[in-house]
Amino acid sequence: MENHSLTEILNKDLGLAVSPQLSLEEIRSTVANQVNHLINTDFEKLVSLLYRIDVSEPKMRALLQHKQGEDSAEHIADLIIERQLQKIESWKKFSNKKDISDEEKW
């Protein structure tokens, strides 16, 4: 998997400077560190960020409840990365449509 699109969107949305040369596990660790920082210093900013990224609140609550006692920052990081990858796939899917009728265009 190419990490360029993922790191680009994470850098934009999280204000990070993640290199596309990092492995997915290194990216996950960097995002988890940022989430942990926000949990400890600016929880409202984290909630706002999760809302803006469109992380599923019910999914997050269920996951955190099921994984009580584990590092919540890592689980939240996984949800953020998962959502960003979903967005990238959607963009790819819809950007490849070349034969869109005028009626379907906005």
What percent of the chain is predicted at pLDDT more than 90? 42
What letter represents residue 13's amino acid? D
Listed residue (46, 48, 51) closest to 31, CA to CA = 46
> Which pLDDT band, with edges at 50, 70 and 90, does 94 fall under?
confident
What 3-state class would DSSP assign to 40? helix
